[in-house]
Chains A and B, each alone.
Chain A
Amino acid sequence: DQQVKQNSPSLSVQEGRISILNCDYTNSMFDYFLWYKKYPAEGPTFLISISSIKDKNEDGRFTVFLNKSAKHLSLHIVPSQPGDSAVYFCAASPGSNDYKLSFGAGTTVTVRA
Chain B
Amino acid sequence: DAGITQSPRHKVTETGTPVTLRCHQTENHRYMYWYRQDPGHGLRLIHYSYGVKDTDKGEVSDGYSVSRSKTEDFLLTLESATSSQTSVYFCAISGLQGNQPQHFGDGTRLSIL
Contact = CB atoms under 8 A, between A and B. Distances in A.
Given A43-B106, A44-B104, A49-B101, A100 B45 contact: yes
A32 interface: yes
For chain A, which range describes its interface: under 10, 10 to 19, 20 to 34, or 35 or more residues?
20 to 34
A44 B98 contact: no
Interface string A34-48: 101000011111100
Interface residues of B, number: 25
A99 B98 CA distance: 6
Interface string B81-106: 00000000010101000110111111
Contact of B94 (A36, A44, A99): A99
Given A99-B31, A100-B48, A89 B42 contact: yes
Contacts of B102: 46, 101
Contacts of A2: 41-42
9 contacts: A43-B90, A44-B43, A44-B90, A93-B99, A95-B99, A101-B33, A101-B43, A102-B59, A105-B42
Interface of B: 4, 31, 33, 35, 40-45, 48, 58-59, 90, 92, 94, 98-99, 101-107
Interface of A: 2, 4, 6, 32, 34, 36, 41-46, 49, 89, 91, 93, 95, 97, 99-106
